[in-house]
Amino acid sequence: MVALQTLIDGLILGGVFSLAAVGFSLIFGVLGIVNLTHGIFVVAGAYIALLLWSGLGLDPLVGIPVIMVVLFATGYVYQRTIIQWATERATVVASLLVTFGVALVMRNILQLIFSSDIRSISPSYSFVSFSLGDLRIDAVRVAGLTTSLVLLTVLTLFLSRTSFGRMIRATAQQPLAAGLSGINVPHVYGLTFALGAAFAGASGAVIGIVAPFSPATEAIWTLNAFVVVVLGGVGSPAGALLGGLLLGVINTMTAQYIGPSFTNATMFLVLVLMLLVRPQGLMGNAFGESR
């Protein structure tokens, strides 16, 4: 029973991790950019959800489309300007430094606007739980998990079924060939980045209802995304889902059987071991030619 409860806790937690990492994974897979601004998108999503909730009384989960639109636009502009300039002038790796710099700027701006006080969003269902036999499951996390699954499914269908999804995949595999076939590669890069940002923002709404946040929490979400991507594989929603669920289960199992203070240590230990054993992640790189 304890093991089952631990497993369920882990899966529920993992659903949130998955959604929070899929944007990072997509951007990394298609553009090859390690986006250190990722956590900022997540936290920004949470703050927008907070504004919608406190200002308009909009439920954070209902507000997700609004958040996604805002972050989509932001992400597009950001990629087409700063990141594109950086990759043109310097290298893709230099974009790492640029995103680091922007993350500092943005964290500071969030701090100036919202202060560094801890915030949380408490819709009516945040405190509800239900029992299945001896199992105890809290509703808000289930809502988070469900939202994650829905959004990840939408993204999967989007990438596999739409012509735009095909363009993204083509660009990820062979930018040059894609360009020659008439795809506007910079535009696709911009849109992919925007998509990644939008999903990060959506996860922020979910995180906002399950955990307290402040501008400084952005770093944790960037780190978590690293681990999820390494566990699951790059570029695909399925990889992110698998990686996220695994991370969640590792987290709770460690807390149960090794000790709660070792959760972060195990998480990163698994990251390192995974890299050594299977660097392309369990699901491999979604965009062909793994290393």
CB 13 to another protein: min, Å: 5
**Residue 127 binds another protein (CB under 8 A):** yes
**Residue 180 binds another protein (CB under 8 A):** no
CB 38 to another protein: min, Å: 13
CB 59 to another protein: min, Å: 16
Q: Smaller CB distance to another protein: residue 154 or 180?
A: 180
Going residue by residue from 14 to 43, which x/- string records binding to another protein, judged by CB under 8 A? Answer: ------------------xxx---------
Residues within window 62-121 making contact with another protein, judged by CB under 8 A? 70, 73-74, 77-78, 81-82, 85-86, 89-94, 96-98, 100-109, 111-112, 115-120
Q: How many residues bind another protein (CB under 8 A)?
A: 93
Q: Smaller CB distance to another protein: residue 110 or 242?
A: 110
One of 62, 69, 122, 180 touching another protein (CB under 8 A): 122
Residues within window 41-60 making contact with another protein, judged by CB under 8 A? 44
Q: Smaller CB distance to another protein: residue 101 or 186?
A: 101
The pair of three-digit structure tokens given for residue 108, joined into one six-digit string: 């500071």
CB 161 to another protein: min, Å: 26
> Partners of 31 in the beta sheet?
none
Residues within window 227-266 making contact with another protein, judged by CB under 8 A? 227, 230, 251-252, 255-256, 259-265
The pair of three-digit structure tokens given for residue 279, joined into one six-digit string: 């660097």
DSSP helix, strand, coil percent of the chain (3-state; round to 5): 75, 5, 20
What is the C-alpha separation between 12 and 25, in angstroms, rounded? 20
Burial zone of 174 (CB within 10 Å; 0-12 exposed, 13-18 middle, 19+ buried): middle
**Residue 136 binds another protein (CB under 8 A):** yes
Nearest to 195, CA basis, from 207, 184, 203, 206: 203
CB 153 to another protein: min, Å: 24
Q: Smaller CB distance to another protein: residue 93 or 154?
A: 93
3-state secondary structure string across 30-71: HHCCCCCCHHHHHHHHHHHHHHHHHHHCCCCCCCHHHHHHHH
List of residues 6+ apart from 50 with CB closer than 8 A: 60, 119, 121, 208
List of residues 6+ apart from 210 with CB closer than 8 A: 16, 140, 141, 144
- In which element (H, E) is residue 137 found? strand 135-138
Q: Smaller CB distance to another protein: residue 72 or 155?
A: 72
Residues within window 156-175 making contact with another protein, judged by CB under 8 A? 174-175
CB 262 to another protein: min, Å: 5
What is the C-alpha separation between 230 and 278, in angstroms, rounded? 9
The pair of three-digit structure tokens given for residue 181, joined into one six-digit string: 């076939």
CB 117 to another protein: min, Å: 5
- In which element (H, E) is residue 135 found? strand 135-138
CB 258 to another protein: min, Å: 10
Q: Smaller CB distance to another protein: residue 85 or 157?
A: 85
What is the C-alpha separation between 63 and 57, in angstroms, rounded? 10
